[in-house]
Amino acid sequence: MAACSNAAAPQADAPAAGAKAESGLPFAVTPVHAFAEPWAMTFLPDGRLLVTEKRGHLQLYDFKTGKAGEITGVPKVAYGGQGGFGDVILHPDFAKNQVVYVSYAEAGDGDDTRGGAVARATLALDAAGGGALQDLKVIWRQVPKVSGQGHYGHRLAFDSAGKLWISSSERQKFDPAQDMASNLGKIVRLNDDGSVPADNPFASQGGVAAQVWSLGHRNVLGIAFDAQGRLWAQEMGPKGGDELNLIERGANYGYPIVSNGDHYDGREIPDHDTRPEFAAPKITWNPVISPAGLMIYSGSQFPDWKGDAFIGGLSSESLVRIEFDGTNAKEAARYDMGQRIREIEQGPDGALYLLEDGEGRDAGRLLKLTPAA
């Protein structure tokens, strides 16, 4: 989800007409466009923006014209509950190969099961402001497909070495997060073609275990690398147990054996400090924030925030700013946005861009945040 550093700036840095500096907020908020159930976004090198819509649409928004065009060739998605079209990111060599990656929920074969999937395709743009995904190929799937419509995860990121990382949530089935015969409840590391790197921590086990970098996760809806190459992941926990984790090679984060929250039906889960063999979160939230997208800022518009992380809050209707001290982290500020925030991205102009989690037609706005005057 990292923005392209060589992209053209989509808008001038100053707050645009209609920008609103909310009382107490250190930024001006400019509504840019509205989408139908947007889920993720990524900037192209030319400054245009790809936006996924949960029902199975991929939009290309042009900041210069103020219009969005349709990208066809999107795979069929299993829409419902938390399922549908998910993430979109660019291959590290996109400028040369035009390859993009998308994640989505797909239906099982002839039964009431579903699972997350990741595909790669070539993005072919047209002169009319739209385009198509061509030569789409599925390179990864959640195993096994299970019933239910929750906890797919399927967030995507590339590291500096060109490895593809996927968050694979546990589909509300608890135990698979500790089962190495399943890739549910795991963070997965692959080569860009979907093959398994030989140096993965569990590669010798073969099968889906070879894909796994870390395990014991619940519902990971944001992953991002910091400037030092460390992977951070935010995790929607059970009641009172949202987490920010520093992801370590081969580590087990303990779910559902431990959590700093409890089950929604009231059953207690032992806290992390009762089982020190499991990796503990760097931050936990109780009450929860319901974390969505995760981004680590590297721009210049907000120089005091360089290196900070930003998390979109769903139930908390907030933007949460995180400060790091090496491998430690703390919540530094929480900004009341008045709407569920699904996704956050850094634009090529150094502004912050948010997607609201609107469910109706044109209900999910794209917001641009710039420094308050």
Half-sphere exposure of 89 (CA within 13 A, CB side): 25
Count of CB atoms situated within 10 Å of the CB of 145: 21
Considering only CA atoms, which of 142, 221, 141 is closest in space to residue 177?
142
Half-sphere exposure of 186 (CA within 13 A, CB side): 28
> Rounded to whole angstroms, how far apart are CA atoms 35 and 61?
10
Rounded to an integer, what is the distance from CA 158 to the centroid of its chain?
12
> Rounded to whole angstroms, how far apart are CA atoms 120 and 123?
9
> Rounded to whole angstroms, how far apart are CA atoms 87 and 98?
17
Q: Where are the alpha helices (DSSP H) in 83-199?
A: 94-97
Beta partners for residue 224, in sequence order: 232
Residue 123 contacts residue 136 (beta carbons within 8 Å): no
Count of CB atoms situated within 10 Å of the CB of 171: 30
Any idea which residues carry the catalytic annotation?
151
C-alpha distance from residue 306 to each of 82, 161, 197, 315, 322 (Å):
32, 22, 32, 26, 11
Residue 176 contacts residue 182 (beta carbons within 8 Å): yes
> Rounded to whole angstroms, how far apart are CA atoms 151 and 217?
11
Task: Using the structure block, give the residue that is written with the tokens 């419902």.
Answer: 80
Buried b (16+ CB within 10 A) or exposed e, 70-84: ebeebbebbbeebbb
